[in-house]
Amino acid sequence: VAMYHKYNDLIRRGDYYRIASWRENHRYDCWAVVAKDQREALVTFVQVLGGANEHSWRIRCKGLDPLCRYRVEGTDQIMSGAALMYAGLQIKGLRGDFIGRLIHLLAEPEV
């Protein structure tokens, strides 16, 4: 219930982006919801079918502000919107089928 309340406004009011489709790549689904002001995003990644020796993926986010710096919530990792969209975000530690990750990106305050 707490997670529902935490992300409710973002999911209902944000812009939806399809990043990858299991129907096309036969490995994983990935989508994101980005706030209208581009100050936060919620990325959902689901590895539908795990493969041999596949323990991480690199996903390229969409809809972020390329000039903004984003922190991956719960970590010290900070990347620019441009890096997240063009180089991508590495999703690690995936072993097995139907493994998912929820990644909350928060814009860092401007200095």
- Alpha-carbon distance 69 to 16, whole Å? 20
Structurally, the chain folds into a number of domains equal to: 1
pTM over 0.85? The answer is yes
Rounded to the nearest 10°, the torsion over CA 43, 65, 105, 30 is 10
- Alpha-carbon distance 111 to 101, whole Å? 30
Neighbours of 95 (CB within 10 A): 9
Tokens of 63: 């809809």
Task: State which residues form the domain around 43.
Answer: 2-107
pLDDT tens digit string along 45-64? Answer: 998 877 776 677 889 999 99
Report the share of the chain in percent with pLDDT over 70: 95
Tokens of 66: 């390329």
Tokens of 51: 């493969």
Lowest mean pLDDT among 3-12, 32-41, 67-76, 93-102: 93-102
Q: What CATH code is carried by the domain that includes residue 73?
A: 2.60.40.1180
